Structure 1
Amino acid sequence: MRHVYIIGTGATPVGEHWDRSPASLAIEALTGALGTIPASRIGALYVASALSGSLHTQSQMAALIATAAGIPGVEAVTVEAGGASGGVALRQACLAVASGAVDLAMVVGVEKVTDVLDARREAALALATDVDWEAIHGVTLTALWALLMRRYMHEYGYTADDFAPFPVNAHANGVANPRAMYRFAITAEKVRNAPMVAEPLGLLDCSTAADGAAAVLIASEGLAHELCATPVRIAGSATATDTLALHSRPDPLWFPAAAHSATAALRTARLTHSDVQVFDVTDPHGIAAALALESSGFAERGTAVALAREGAITPKGRLPLATGGGCKARGDTVGANGVYQIVELVAQLRGQAGAAQVNSARVALAQCMGGIGATVATHILTLE
């Protein structure tokens, strides 16, 4: 298998883009990732979108975007895996380039969620749960995360206040991200006093679903060094799955898909946990980030919240997390989250992350999650 490199990235600001279509957002990101490279050189296009069919009654987004990009006829595939869609799309593109099927592949994550009423959007997001046993009874993703947070607090003796460092860190980092939806700092006191959404989750520990598109151009080794001065290698790539329904799992506070994909990606990259210097995981709430870090092997069970409280997740800590603001401050673009993660981590490895830059970062981990850990994609990026 050939080595695979990222040679271009692009992204729109995250927000409420009332006047934009999903295709126009996608083309803006795609054009940014291409730079001066003609679109006609793209050998395959992978489009991640979790909600386009349910919210916009539009399937075949890949064909739509290929046409809008002026490359009709190109091999184009739409990928849906809930919040893991972006990571799974990147995984497919990596396999295509590594196998030699194509030399240049484009991955676009796009989501447009703000043009509908809240009830319809929540119903669409709930499709990432088990519809027959969870969503049909009115259970939302936020409610499930709240149940896990309550269980975690019971098991390990934490209070809701102990989770505040996660959103506080995300917002502090989001200030430096020009594409973030919420570019302002918050305090632990504000998190504590925020209105309750699904107890014990308060408003400031809950992300906002938003519109946006991000794109990554990947290439074979020879082409990467020809077209880019600072290519970033995708050294490891893996996906894994778990049971869809949370109640079917023997241990709800452990995500096997996160564990399996992280282990496989690190093994492929020939790296260990201690080699990773900067992280981005699916973090719509602090509990989600804590469980992702623990299940992936970067914190002992029950310790991630304590580590966050001690400052480990800040850019100067040993587990720098959400340096672009994460789902909380950047905004939760659902199926596009996994591609936004890559865009932000590439900036980190190139030393272009501004005030949230992690010193001398050369190895990064991106992990995106569909539903409550039912699908997880993990990628290891390295600067060579």
Structure 2
Amino acid sequence: MRDVYVVGAGQSKYGAFPDESYRSLFETAYESALDSAGGIDPGDIDEAVVGSLGVGGRQLGLSGPAVTEHVGLHGVPCSRIENACAASGYAVRQAVQAVKSGMADVALAGGYEVMTDMSGDVAKYWLGVSGETEWERLTGTTFSGVYAQMASAYIDAYDASPDHFSKVAVKNHANGAKNPKAHLGFTCSFDDARDAPVVADPLNLYHCCPTSDGAAAVIVASEEFAEKCDDAVRVAGVGAASERVGLFQRDSYTSIRSTEEAANTAYEMAGVGPDDIDFAEVHDCFAIAELLAYEDLGFCERGEAPNLIDRGVTELDGDLPVNPSGGLKSKGHPIGATGAGQVVEAFSQLTGQAGDRQIEGANVGLTHNVGGSGGAAVVHVLEGGVL
């Protein structure tokens, strides 16, 4: 199969936007992606794949064609992916597959979500649809509660404490403060993050990402088309995997098997290993999720994630920067847009367009997008400087 390149990527700002709709947010992201893909005309787009949990819990059956028709892609086949928080990560994977197979030369992938037009109680209900229905959602367990169980198990098993979750929050807010598209684009002190109100013990407010409105879009193309564009980043490897949806159904609370399997597939396809990654965007819906990702992605041994954060390895100026965008914690988490938004950040880093958060010399990046508490995961390895 042929090589595939990201040739354009863009996103809306993430946040709370009562005057915007999912169509207008996607239009902003799409136009930004198109602007960054010099040499690609909208008429070149053969296929579109978009991700969404359901747009504010409304479960709109044709929201995919609604956004692509809105931006003028008349007649272009559009599929909507619903894989919880991994929806647009999987959308990017599907677009890559379309180009790799030869069924498309240029494909659009993206995602969108409107989450702030609901009450907290309603939002909590709709977020719960990404968990196991009978034994988690309908018994009153929230996602913060699920990840709190994972956090408690991790603390019991290893040399870790809630202070390590707070250090993750401080790091990601420092990065997000450099990102003009971030929902919570402000710094926080360690004391702020440590002393915040408890949400689900041992997780507090600063250990949890916000619910956000937003959209992201990515354009992928064959090598022939990529050579016409201003910038191109090779999709070196892609991996995806599924896991039992309910946390109680799994063998371990301190790892996410779908992440590990998706990463191994992506590494093998790309011909690289964890030591070759220059930076990563990982799915930190809760701070414990970032620590688990360090281990599941092979950045360190089991139980060693707290040591990485203690030593500053994953800081913006560390040996392996993680979440230079601010991650879900600071940049925000509009569920359907999150995975594609991670690819937007990787494209910016690998083309030298990340501004104050630019990682010098970055050549290989990784994105990691998780659905629910691990029922689905998708990993992309992206390589710059290849065309």
For the criterion TM > 0.5, the same-fold answer is yes
Q: Does 1:338 align with 2:332?
A: no
For residues 250-298 of structure 1, what are the alpha-carbon distances to aligned partners after superposition, in whole Å with 9 as ceiling and x for unaligned? 1121211111100100110111111100001110222000111211211
Deviation at 1:181, TM superposition (A): 1.1
AA in 1 matched with 2:169: P
Query: Is 1:131 aligned with 2:171?
Result: no
For 2:74 and 2:121, the matched residues in 1 are separated by 36
Matches within 5 A, 1:293-372: 293-372=294-373
Alignment of 1:44-123 (within 5 A): 44-52=47-55, 55-123=57-125
Is this contact kept in 1: 2:53–2:59, CA < 8 A? no
Cα distance in 2 for partners of 1:30, 1:211 equals: 15
User: What's the CA shift for 1:317?
Assistant: 1.3
Whether the 8 Å CA contact 2:283–2:368 is kept in 1: the answer is: yes
1:307 alignment partner AA = L
CA distance in 2, matches of 1:296, 1:272: 9
Q: Separation in 2 of the partners of 1:165 and 1:306?
A: 11
Contact 1:12 1:28 in 2 (8 A): yes
Structure 1 stretch 80-89 or stretch 162-171: which is displaced more? 162-171
Does the 8 A contact of 1:173 with 1:323 survive in 2? yes
Q: Distance in 1 between matches of 2:352 and 2:69?
A: 35
DSSP-derived class of the 1:233 partner: strand
**What is the aligned partner in structure 2 of residue 2 from structure 1?**
2
Correspondence for 1:33: 33
Deviation at 1:229, TM superposition (A): 2.6
Question: 5+ residue gaps in structure 2?
Answer: none
Which residue is equivalent to 1:217?
Answer: 219
Q: Which moved more, 1:127-136 or 1:28-37?
A: 28-37
Helix, strand or coil for the counterpart of 1:289? Answer: helix
Residue by residue over 1:37-80, the C-alpha shift from the partner in whole angstroms, topping out at 9 and shown as x without a partner, is 4322210011111132x623422111111211222221100001
Structure 2 SS opposite 1:110: strand
User: Where does structure 1 differ by over 6 angstroms across 4 or more consecutive aligned residues?
Assistant: none
- Note the C-alpha offset of 1:108: 1.5
What do the CA deviations read for 1:316-345 (whole angstroms, capped 9, x no partner)? 212211100101110111121101101111
Q: C-alpha distance in 1, partners of 2:204/2:256?
A: 23
Q: Output the TM-score relative to the length of structure 1.
A: 0.97
Contact 1:2 1:220 in 2 (8 A): yes
**Which one of 43, 46, 51 corresponds to residue 46 of structure 2?**
43
Aligned to 1:261: 262
Structure 2 CA distance for aligned equivalents of residues 71 and 86 of structure 1: 19
The 2-side partners of 1:159 and 1:382 are apart by: 35
Question: Which residue number in structure 1 is paired with residue 378 of structure 2?
Answer: 377
Q: 1:153 aligns with which of 155, 162, 173?
A: 155
Kept in 1, the 8 Å contact 2:8–2:231? The answer is: no
Letter in 2 for 1:188: F
Q: Normalized against structure 2, the TM-score is what?
A: 0.96
1:142 corresponds to which residue?
A: 144
AA of the residue aligned to 2:7: I
The Cα RMSD (Å) is 1.1
Native 8 Å contact 1:241 1:376 kept in 2: yes
Secondary structure of the residue that 1:164 maps to in structure 2? helix
Q: Does structure 1 retain, via aligned residues, the 8 Å contact 2:99–2:105?
A: yes
- Tell me the alpha carbon deviations over residues 183-234 of structure 1, each in whole angstroms, 9 at most, x when there is no partner: 21111111111111111111111110100001001100011111x1320011
Distance 1:73 1:352 in 2: 33
Mapped partners of 1:23, 1:231: distance in 2: 27
Q: Could you tell me how far 1:82 is from its partner in structure 2?
A: 0.5
| Residues 107-144 of structure 1: CA deviation (Å, up to 9, x unaligned) | 11101001111111111111111011110101111111
Contact 1:22 1:111 in 2 (8 A): yes
- Kindly indicate whether the alpha-carbon contact (under 8 Å) linking 1:167 and 1:285 is maintained by their aligned counterparts in 2: no
Number of residue pairs matched? Answer: 382
Q: Following the alignment from structure 2 to structure 1, what is the Cα–Cα distance between the partners of residues 68 and 159?
A: 51
Q: 1:260-299 counterparts in 2 under 5 A?
A: 260-299=261-300
* Contact residue 2 and residue 222 of structure 2 kept, 8 A: yes
| One-letter amino acid matched to 1:296 | L
Question: What displacement does 1:162 show?
Answer: 2.4
Contact 2:110–2:218 (CA under 8 A) maintained in structure 1: yes
Pairwise CA distance, 1:299: 1.3
Deviates more, 1:77-86 or 1:151-160: 151-160
Amino acid across the alignment from 1:50: L
Identity %: 34
Consecutive unaligned residues in structure 1, runs of 5 or more: none
* Secondary structure at 1:55 match in 2: coil
